[in-house]
Copies of this chain bind each other. A is one copy, B any other.
């Protein structure tokens, strides 16, 4: 058993305060010098702890003075997930197959949920994304709006964890997606598949939404399709 490092104590104390004081995004933490004094540790240790919290998307630091300065609590789990995936993919401790597979799982689930409780605003967002896709002048642009469509569905699911994960997964497979679309040639069939997903969600038909999503992704990433 290793003795806890100083910055880990700081980390634990900050986490304790967050829970005990019921802090939420928008609230501010004391300044680095003040925290160091309160906890009787050096400013370096406080800074390392804050760096960890920043990495996890829990705080955001801003120099200067005023209401927005200092360490402010935030909620950016997506950034942390994005970094996590990118680094582990780079390290080859995760494969593209695992990432795409996970994306497919979330998409199917979200599509089903979205079909369950889509509002008029949600549907308008999806239609806008579809229109943008149609107007795209390049594969990169198409993929970007494609991502917007799928992300909107993930957000419609009402589950922020899934939406954040989806965002991170999309970012991780960005280049891979461009390549996949290029390989497919035209975008006509892709557009039709997206419209089928939209229609199913708009109709509130969960089963059809899941099926359409599965068909779309299996077509786009045939090499990932389950055995």
**Chain A residues packing against B (C-beta within 8 Å):** 7, 15, 18-19, 22-25, 44, 47-48, 51-53, 55-58, 73, 75, 77, 80-81, 83-84, 86-88, 90-94, 98-99, 101-102, 105-106, 109, 113, 116-117, 159-162, 165, 226-227
Give the docked Cα–Cα distance between A132 and B135 (Å). Answer: 59
Check A75–B98 contact: CB distance below 8 A: no
Q: Which residue of B lies closest to A23 (CB)?
A: B91
Check B84–A80 contact: CB distance below 8 A: yes
Give the docked Cα–Cα distance between A65 and B35 (Å). Answer: 33
Which of B47, B106, B160 sits near A93, CB closer than 8 Å?
B160
Known: A81-B84, A91-B75, A105-B109. A116 touches B227 (CB 8 A): yes
Report chain B residues within 8 Å CB of A81.
Answer: 84
Output the residue of A19, A73, A84 with the most chain B CB within 10 A.
A84
Report chain B residues within 8 Å CB of A160.
Answer: 93-94, 98
Q: Which residue of B lies closest to A206 (CB)?
A: B226
Give the docked Cα–Cα distance between A80 and B48 (Å). Answer: 16
Check B117–A227 contact: CB distance below 8 A: yes
Which of B19, B48, B57, B77 sits near A51, CB closer than 8 Å?
B48
Check B159–A98 contact: CB distance below 8 A: yes
Check B80–A80 contact: CB distance below 8 A: yes
A84 CB, nearest partner CB in chain B, Å: 5
Check B55–A15 contact: CB distance below 8 A: no
Report chain B residues within 8 Å CB of A19.
Answer: 90
**Can you spell out 28 A-B residue pairs with CB atoms less than 8 angstroms apart?**
A15-B86, A15-B87, A19-B90, A22-B92, A23-B91, A24-B92, A24-B93, A44-B44, A44-B47, A47-B48, A51-B55, A52-B55, A55-B56, A56-B80, A56-B87, A56-B88, A57-B84, A58-B88, A75-B91, A77-B88, A77-B93, A77-B94, A80-B84, A98-B162, A99-B161, A101-B159, A101-B161, A102-B159
